[in-house]
């Protein structure tokens, strides 16, 4: 995910899962699709090995707050806690500086 630099925000979501992951990848896919439709959404990157890291980028803190309170997202958060995640951490950050490299 690339962005043109301007003041914007990142949500770093780090998590570990238990044995029971039925339904997880469908829900993750669905949430990504819905997130992309939200006001203020800029982009998202995800990867998972021992730990899962999803970083989503937003124009402002208000957009992040609204996405946290989105009704379908609330259902996913509840399911995440009751079924899939052993642990997670959410960090809300302001991007101060950014640089990029592309191979020639």
Which of 90, 87, 89, 98 has the alpha carbon at shortest distance from 42?
98
Minimum CB distance to a second copy, residue 6 (Å) = 12
Sign of CA dihedral 13, 61, 57, 78: positive
Please select the residue that binds a second copy; options are 34, 55, 70, 76, rule is CB under 8 A. 55
Residue carrying the six token digits 């958060």: 77
Select from 24, 31, 35, 52 the one that contacts a second copy (CB under 8 A).
52
* β partners of residue 55: 12, 45
The residues in 65-94 that bind a second copy, with binding defined as CB under 8 A, are: 81, 85-94
Nearer to a second copy, 71 or 86 (CB): 86
Q: How far is the CB of 64 from a second copy (least distance, A)?
A: 9
* Cβ–Cβ < 8 Å for 52, 46: yes
Q: Which is nearer to a second copy, 41 or 88 (CB)?
A: 88
């Amino acid at each position: 995910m690339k962005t043109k630099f301007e003041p914007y925000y990142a949500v770093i979501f780090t998590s570990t899962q238990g044995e029971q992951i039925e339904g997880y990848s469908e829900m993750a896919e669905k949430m990504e699709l819905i997130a992309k439709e939200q006001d203020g959404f800029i982009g998202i990157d995800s990867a998972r090995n021992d730990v899962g890291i999803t970083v989503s980028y937003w124009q402002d803190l208000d957009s992040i707050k609204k996405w946290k309170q989105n009704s379908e997202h609330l259902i996913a958060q509840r399911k995440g806690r009751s079924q899939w995640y052993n642990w997670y951490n959410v960090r809300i950050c302001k991007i101060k500086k950014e640089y990029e490299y592309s191979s020639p």
